[in-house]
Structure 1
Amino acid sequence: MPGNEKSRAKTEQAKGKAKEAAGRAVGNERMTAEGRAERSKGDARQAKEKGKDAFRH
Structure 2
Amino acid sequence: MAAISESRDDTARSTHVLAADGELFVSGGRTENELVRTAEGWRLSRADLRIAWKQGNPPVLP
Q: Into which bin does the TM-score normalised by the smaller protein fall?
A: under 0.3
- Higher-RCO chain (CA-CA 8 Å, sequence separation at least 6): 1
TM-score, normalised to structure 1, is 0.22
Higher strand share: 2
TM-score, normalised to structure 2, is 0.21
